[in-house]
Amino acid sequence: MEKEMIERYMEIAINEAKKAYKKNEIPVGSIIVKNNEVIAKSHNKRDNTNIVIEHAEISAIIKANKKLNNWRLNDSILFTTLEPCDMCKSVIKESKIKIVYFAANRDKNESKSEVEKNVEYIQIENKLLISEAEKLIKDKFKELRKKWINISQEIKQRRNRKIINYFPGNIYLYNINKEGGKKFHVKHKQYI
């Protein structure tokens, strides 16, 4: 396949990853191409659907299966913004896809696993597209880390509080300060 076509298809996959980012998902996008036509495209939906297999690659494969009315995707090529996980690689292998182009690498130094046999995994050469895919993922994980740091700090603050009395409408709390002294606070129950 020509380099320009590979880059054009990867740009479509990156646009799918941006959709996932906007929906607060891990930003991975995938498309499936057969006979130079995009037959399916998808992005991660696992967190919003609470379905563990809703990875971009598997969702795109399911859409392609339905469109072609066939579970075999012979002569199809998958483009994805992140190197597929082992679960996705198993589904890719079972669906008979022979070539997968990906942008961002998973940074693993493993030998070829059983699920990778009979499928050729090729990282694209365009550094701009690779860095765009990597940036989406890094930005999402920075957001998640910041969110979890805030949550952990809030939990830590709440651990130092003890409820000492409860009357309808009010909760009386005290904080234990570093010197062991107690400070009393009156808070309305809706703010706790």
Instruction: Indicate whether 58 pLDDT > 90.
Output: yes
pLDDT at 131: 93
Average pLDDT over residues 135-160: 80
Instruction: Indicate whether 175 pLDDT > 80.
Output: no
The answer to whether residues 93 and 120 touch, using CB atoms and an 8 Å cutoff, is no
Q: Report pTM.
A: 0.76
pLDDT at 112: 61
The residue type found at 109 is N
Instruction: Indicate whether 43 pLDDT > 90.
Output: yes
Distance CA 155, CA 132 (A): 35
Catalytic residues: 57
pLDDT at 128: 94
Distance CA 9, CA 115 (A): 24
Instruction: Indicate whether 191 pLDDT > 50.
Output: no
pLDDT at 12: 97
Burial (0-12, 13-18, 19+ Cβ within 10 Å), 65: middle
Displacement of CA 84 from its chain's centroid (Å): 11
